[in-house]
Structures are given as C-alpha cells and as structure tokens.
Structure 1
Amino acid sequence: MADTYDILIIGGGPGGYVAAIRAAQLGFKTAVVEREHLGGICLNWGCIPTKALLRSAEIFHYAENAKDYGLTIAKPGFDIAAVVKRSRGVSAQLNGGVGYLMKKNKIDVIWGEAKIAKAGEGGPVEVSVGKMTKPIVEPQNPVPKGVLGEGSYKAKHVIVATGARPRVLPGIEPDGDRIWTYFEAMKPAAMPKSLIVMGSGAIGIEFASFYRTMGAEVTVVELLPQIMPVEDAEIAGVARKQLEKQGLKILTDAKVSKVTKSGQGVEVTVEAKGGKTETLKAERLISAVGVQGNIEGLGLEEAGVAIERGIVGIDGFGRTNVERIYAIGDVAGPPMLAHKAEHEGTICVEKIKGMDVHPMKTTQIPGCTYCQPQVASVGLTEAKAKEAGREVKIGRFNFKGNGKAIALGEPEGLVKTVFDAKTGELLGAHMVGAEVTELIQGFVIAMGLETTEEELMHSVFPHPTLSEMMHESVLDAYGRVIHM
C-alpha cells in the first residue's frame, strides 16, 4: 500500500467508489478511506436493501390478491426474519462486489477515519483507527484485520464523499427500540402491529408502504400540505389517494410535537396547522425527517473549506473554494441521491484530468420513490415551471387508457409532461403508477438531448408497453392524444 496518491477519496459509498474507479481508469494512483463498509448507506442500509424489502411486500401483495388474476393460492403468510435475512443477503452480495471492483482496479482501501491535516498539493490526510466513531450499526462485513491502514497519507487531490446520516429532531431522538430511523426499520426483530411515520419523503413513504402492505396499521404525519413535497402536486395527489385506498392514514399540515414512551409503544402528540392536537398510539415510530451531511471531524473548516447550512459548497464540478479539495454526493447537498453522487464523482475526476466535461445539471437528475404505486420524476413540476415565468403546455395520460397496464392489473396511475409552450422544450416529466421508476429514464435522456415535443411525437413506442403512455402524454400536451 502506497502512502502517496494522486487522488484520495474519503468515503466508499456510491459517489466515492465510482469516483475511485473512474480515477483508476484514467491512470490516477487512487485510494479510498472507509470507516465502516464499502458501498455506503445506499448499498448497505438504504437504496438496495429497502428495494429487497419492498419486493417481498410486492410479492406478498400479489399473493394476497391472486384471485384477481384467476389464480388460487392458499392464504399467504410471511416470516419477517426470513424477509430481513434476504434483504441483508442482497446487501452483503453487493458489498463484496464493491470490494472486488476495488481490487480489480488496483485501488487501495484504507480502513479508518480520515482528517485533512493540511490543504494544498501533498497535504497529508491523517487516518486513525483507535478513535474511530462507533458505527450507527455494525458493518455488514467486518473490517478485515491487519489492513486498517492507520497513518499519514499524501494526496494531490482529496475528494470528500462522506455521505449523510438521519436527521434527528430534539426531543425525538431515536433509541433503537421504539423510536426508529431507517436503520432499525430495515431489520425489525418482529413485525409491529402499528407504527407512525414522521415525514413523507421517499424514505418515509417507502417504509410506510412496506409496513402497511405487510399488515401493520400505519399513520404518516407530514408537516407540509402535500405528501412527497418535492413531487408535482397532481402526481402526489394521485399517490395519496392510492395509498389511502390501501388503508394508509395520512395527516398533512401537521407536526409531531411530542413523543412519549408508554407501555410497549409510544404516544405521539400531533399538532395540526390550526393548533388542534390529537394523541396517536403505536408500537413504533419511524423518524424520516431527512438527512444531514457528515461534515464533522474531517478538518474541512480548519482547511478553510466553505460550509453553508450543513453542506460543503461546490461548483458544478465538485470543486470547493479550496484548491485541490473537492466534495461530491450527499455531503455536497441536494438532491441527495446515489445516482447523483455517482455522476458527480465521475464529473469531478474527469475535470481533474482536464477533460472537457459538462457541469452537473441537478434539474436533470431523476427522483424515484418505490412505494406502491411507484412515483418517478425529472425536471420542473408544473408549479415550478410557472413560478419561473414559463408559459407551459401540460400533457396527461391515465393508466386506464393503456392496454399493458390493464393486462397487468395496474390501471391506476398517471403520466404528466410539462413543455415550454413557446419552444417545445421538455421542462419536466412526472409519473405515478406501476414500474414508472423504470420508465423515467426515457424522459431523462430526452431532456439531456434537448429533445422537443415534435421529436417525441414522431418517435415510435413499442406496443403493448407501459411506455406508450409517455408518448400519449406528449401528444396530449398538443391536443393530439389518441387513446384517451
């Protein structure tokens, strides 16, 4: 293991390990410092294992409703320990895969906690082991003995990719027992009969959907007027209607003002916008009120790196205000998504190499929520487009008009497109319904290529597919819809 590197990356999550691989491909001597487990929160405790849980819930849902498809299945059940074991196994497999990729690309993995000791070329990064922060949860794969890597390492360029952790509200601190973050919600020892989810962003809604599908009584409390606040209001409204139809209770314009542990559960005081309060009881509370960047203990402020509202300030290439120090991913601000971190890491490394690359366009980063029904979007919502002073044309197509959706038994959903009325520029696309997280990339590519409505209308979509609804939504924006 060398002690001098061209690029040293602090954090082995999606942004960090992808940046490392790209750096190695470009000929840089590269190292990653990681304190817990390769793959970061996304692979070990976020994106991947939650999708494994949601897949189990989806199969359970279909088994319970087999008669709708002309099938007969004895009353289905589940073993929550086996469901969790499968989810953890999926993460373990991918965790090992990242380790293989590090070895394949000759990237050194230094185990420990890093601190930038001095800014500038050659400035050392100190890695310590004895004072390592105790992990929030035990690593999926224990750190190998004998390769912890404590010491001082020189690097021409340092990329901070330390990710984020659950935000904690005063007085509602998670205890790992009755008040959960997504860590505990990911691996319940037993299925709670009831729970309250505080926050209706992607994390909150996904867990609410999972636990409701598995039979728990679930209440979601959201501070803002609509669930999934970053989504288009119309799409969020369709999602809410379907979630409530499944038995999910949703309270908006409401906040959790007090949580008291009582008996075997919690008592939660919820305050509505007008000041009226009510007390809810449940076995567990999931706190899903967002995340905050891991900026502490890295030596950033001592090095003069600008930090504002808890995130590292960067330009479109990941560069901070201090030369040769960069930041990518959640620690560098929203949207806090794994695929944004990966692309940001690639851009950052290619810019260091001197390549001609485009800066990050956060408006073209898609967002996906894997509840049932799924929600996916990219670009401006109708409201944001109008706020920006754009004259817009709006296209809509309902799942009920699509043959594939009906054949799948998934007739509830909506595809919505937002165009600039003057230029035909696609400003945004928003979907709710079956498999929309797999469809949204079509609109992402269209926006990246600066495709106009005319080109989309003259594209031929295969039949029968759900993707035909994307075409019909574009046609609808210009008064040419066929099947609705």
Structure 2
Amino acid sequence: MAAQNFDLIVIGAGPGGYVAAIRGAQLGMKVAIVEREHLGGICLNWGCIPTKAMLRSSEVFHLMQRAKDFGLKATGVDYDLDAVVKRSRSVAGQLSGGIGHLMKKNKVTVFMGAATIPAKGKVSVKGEKGTDELTAKNIVLATGARARELPGLEADGDLVWTYKHALEPKKMPKKLLVIGSGAIGIEFASFYNTLGADTTVVEVMDRVLPVEDAEISAFAKKQFVKQGMKIMEKSMVKQLDRGKGKVTAHIETGGKTEKMEFDTVISAVGIVGNVEGLGLEELGVKIDRTHVVTDEFCRTGVDGLYAIGDIAGAPWLAHKASHEGVMVADLIAGKHAHPVRPESIAGCTYCHPQVASVGYSEAKAKELGYDIKVGRFPFIGNGKAIALGEPEGMIKTVFDAKTGELLGAHMVGAEVTELIQGYVVGRQLETTEEDLMNTVFPHPTLSEMMHESVLDAYDRVIHM
C-alpha cells in the first residue's frame, strides 16, 4: 500500500497532541493524528476531567453535611458511589466525543492504532485492520506518561490501585493508604476522606504537596489533619504484604518501621514517560529518565522531530502540553514562536482546600539571589469568603524588592484554582507591584485578597 503523505503527523491525541493538530490545520497544514487508546488522552478520559467531576461530588456532599451552618435542613445525607462514578465517566465521555468532532471540523485525519517511527519522516500505524504507512516532514511526539510503579508496590486493581482504579472503584475504601502527596495523591485522599474513608497519606519528602511554597503546604496540611487525615512526612512504604481483603504496609519513618493495616492502597508516586516502542533510540533521540530531551522550542535534535507535554518532562500539566502544541505548530509554519517558560505556568490542585501557584516560591526566590518582599492575606479577612462559609485560606505574593516584579504567587483556599489566573496574566504582562496596587478589584469578591496580599508586601494592607 502506498504511503499517505502529510505535512504534520502528531503521535498521541491528549491535550498536547490534539491541540497541536488543530493549530497545524488552522495554519493550512495537512495533518494526521495517531492515537492508540482514547481521543483526549489521559487528561480527558482518566485524569484532570473525571477527577474534577468526582471531587465536585465530594464537595457538594461536604456542603450538604454543613447545611445547618447555612440555615438549611438536610437530613439523611448520603451518597451513591456508583452514581458518582457514572457521572464522572459521562462527563469524560461527553468531552472525549467533542475531540472527535473537533478533528473532523479541522479536517485532521485520525488513525487509531500504535505508532512507530521506522525512519526519519515516516510513521507506521498498527491498527485493528492492519498497518498504515504515513510520511511527513514534521512529526510531533505527544505520547504522554503513565503512573510510575515501584517494585513491590505494583497495582493489582483489588487491594492496590493506580489512579485508574481509583476513578472506577469497585468498593468504597474503609481504611485507605495513599502513597505520594503530589496533586494526584492528595486529590484522591481528599475525595475518599470526604466520603468517609479513614485516610493516611505517606510522603517521602519533608512535607505534603512538596512542589508548593512551604507555608502553603503547612497550611494545607493543617486543614487535611482537621478533616481527619493522617499525614506521615519523611516516610517511605518499604513493602506491602497482601492478604485476603487487607494489606499490611511497612512504613519507615526516621529509621523506625511500623506496620499498619489497610483495605485499599492508592499508589501516586509520580509518572514515567511513554517513550518505549516508538523507535526513538534508533533515530538518535536522547532520553533521560524516561523523558525525551528537548530544547526550549521542543526540538529533539533529530531534524523535523518534536516532543511536547509529559513526554518532554516537567511540569507535567495539560495546559503546558497544549501551549507547547500551539508553539510547535507555529514554529513549523514559520511563525514567530515564544518558548513556554515553566515558571510562568500555574499549578492547580483540587483538594479541599484548593491549592494554586505560579512562579517562584519564597525559598526559590531567595535561592536565586533575589532580595524579596512578601505579602500575605488570610481568607478570614475577606467578606466574600466569610459569606461563602469558607474562612480558611491564604494568599501569598512574592516580589523583587528592587524592581517590584511579581516573582511568585501562592494560594490555598476556596476557588483559588480560578483566582490564580489573575497573577498568571500579571506575570505575562510583566506587572509590577504598582500596577497591581492601582488596579481596582471588584467588591465583594475573593479576588480582593489578591490586592490585599500585594498591599501587605509593601506595608499598605487595609483590612488586616
């Protein structure tokens, strides 16, 4: 069969790949996209979207239990786990179908199957009905990543779960162990803990949410503990003894090992890039710890071959992948492209309370040699937060004392995953403290705390 020729072939249809394909098509290229599992990738089918749907259910459940605080009556409050999961799956399904529609609308040819790159500019796709041979001058790798499995802690779907099992639980855990307190681990811990699971979180680093500012981590931890979670930091699960319906975990803290019994374990110990089986080594692509090495423009060093998103390394975030997809398509089309700077990408965690941040933490800014000014404002000082019944939270801003540049912003509390974008835009526009101080924030809103936090950094805070 003759090879089909394209201008651009994208391997992987997650939030990096499908966006790169759409942008390529918008720029007049003939585009093909290859996907071996689901359009929309992990993010849409098994990650960002279905987890948010489940967390929304647990949030509403939590509010129903607090009905009395709002002068409302709700008796016999309960949940149906199967229905919660069903809703989550239907949300994911609706969006996944939408991607198929976007591919058609943009005239992107979809090939379902597993891709290999037998030679430069060639892609072979093995599907259910045989093999398709494709050629293109430009190929974008967007194959994403999968859950890391540690020896002895491998998932079995019964006692030990990955995020996938946790999204389609066959039972409600009574006593749950979550290994790892990054965004994935802490979101599942938050979900199951809210629904009544006795939850323990084990984190090998010295604090939960280790990529966040230390002060925000400490604040979040206090809230998790208040909600009944047990948090074990600087701790490591050395082994899991699996029995009938139970797991005995050997947890080492400071040289001492204790045994604890659980009925369910969720392993969330990071991710590994999907670099195998593509033929990358033979092409001369450099791979470092399961991630493709690229320059700031996502070029692999092999002519016409790019890598975007999770496969190209941290931060492992869908919005970073999408933005890189657009940048690479622009670059291929000869347009002026701006590299994606990791420190300008916001991270959001949808636990209860929510956590969001952009730029440098206080410690990182100091480590980089900045002379800094730091402002803070608590939710308890904000009218809207109190009216919402959400007085637990904080907004923290870090400025360069010399230039007034906003170096970083860190938040914990209700709806901060929506608020953070104000600071992201500010950083993109190279804002200074003066711009932010002179901006009028609407009242009553949670966003006013963003203003107050800036004022606080310069000893001008009003409501505290």
TM-score normalised by length of structure 2: 0.99
Match of 1:257 in 2: 238
Letter in 1 for 2:14: G
Match of 1:428 in 2: 408
Once the two structures are superposed, residues 207-235 of structure 1 have per-residue CA deviations (whole angstroms, 9 ceiling, x without a partner) of 00000000000000000111000000000
SS at match of 2:369: coil
Say which of 173, 179, 188 aligns to 1:192: 173
Once the two structures are superposed, residues 347-381 of structure 1 have per-residue CA deviations (whole angstroms, 9 ceiling, x without a partner) of 01101111112111111000000000000000000
Q: How does 1:5-24 map to 2 (within 5 A)?
A: 5-24=6-25
Q: 1:263 deviation in Å?
A: 2.4
Q: 1:190 deviation in Å?
A: 1.7
Say which of 113, 117, 126 aligns to 1:128: 126
Q: How does 1:313-462 map to 2 (within 5 A)?
A: 313-462=293-442
1:307 aligns with 2:287: yes
Letter in 2 for 1:270: I
CA–CA separation in structure 2 for the residues paired with 1:427 and 1:265:
47
CA–CA separation in structure 2 for the residues paired with 1:411 and 1:66:
16
- Stretches of structure 1 that go unaligned for 5 or more consecutive residues are 131-147
CA–CA separation in structure 1 for the residues paired with 2:430 and 2:396:
18
Match of 1:134 in 2: none
- Stretches of structure 2 that go unaligned for 5 or more consecutive residues are none
Once the two structures are superposed, residues 226-283 of structure 1 have per-residue CA deviations (whole angstroms, 9 ceiling, x without a partner) of 10000000001000000100001000010000101122121101000x2111111111
Letter in 1 for 2:459: G
Once the two structures are superposed, residues 72-99 of structure 1 have per-residue CA deviations (whole angstroms, 9 ceiling, x without a partner) of 0112111100000000000000000000
CA–CA separation in structure 1 for the residues paired with 2:187 and 2:255:
28
CA–CA separation in structure 2 for the residues paired with 1:26 and 1:258:
52
Letter in 2 for 1:16: G
Moved more, 184-193 or 329-338: 184-193
Match of 1:466 in 2: 446
Aligned partners of 1:10 and 1:16 also within 8 Å: yes
Match of 1:4 in 2: 5
Letter in 2 for 1:97: G
Q: How does 1:272-311 map to 2 (within 5 A)?
A: 272=253, 274-311=254-291
SS at match of 1:302: helix
CA–CA separation in structure 2 for the residues paired with 1:471 and 1:2:
58
Q: How does 1:182-221 map to 2 (within 5 A)?
A: 182-221=163-202
CA–CA separation in structure 1 for the residues paired with 2:337 and 2:275:
27
Number of residue equivalences: 463
Aligned partners of 1:81 and 1:190 also within 8 Å: no
Aligned partners of 1:111 and 1:150 also within 8 Å: no
Aligned partners of 1:111 and 1:149 also within 8 Å: no
Match of 1:36 in 2: 37
Q: 1:149 deviation in Å?
A: 6.6
CA–CA separation in structure 1 for the residues paired with 2:326 and 2:380:
40
Query: Cα RMSD (Å) of the superposition?
Result: 1.0
TM-score normalised by length of structure 1: 0.95
Letter in 2 for 1:383: A
Letter in 1 for 2:262: A
Q: 1:150 deviation in Å?
A: 2.3
Match of 2:70 in 1: 69
Structure 1's consecutive aligned runs of 4 or more residues displaced over 4 angstroms after TM superposition are none
Letter in 2 for 1:42: C
Q: How does 1:150-189 map to 2 (within 5 A)?
A: 150-189=131-170
Aligned partners of 1:112 and 1:149 also within 8 Å: no
Identity across matched positions, percent: 62
CA–CA separation in structure 2 for the residues paired with 1:246 and 1:59:
15
Letter in 2 for 1:166: A
Q: 1:2 deviation in Å?
A: 8.1
1:60 aligns with 2:41: no
Aligned partners of 2:285 and 2:302 also within 8 Å: yes
Match of 1:139 in 2: none
Letter in 2 for 1:39: G
Letter in 1 for 2:31: T
CA–CA separation in structure 2 for the residues paired with 1:176 and 1:114:
28
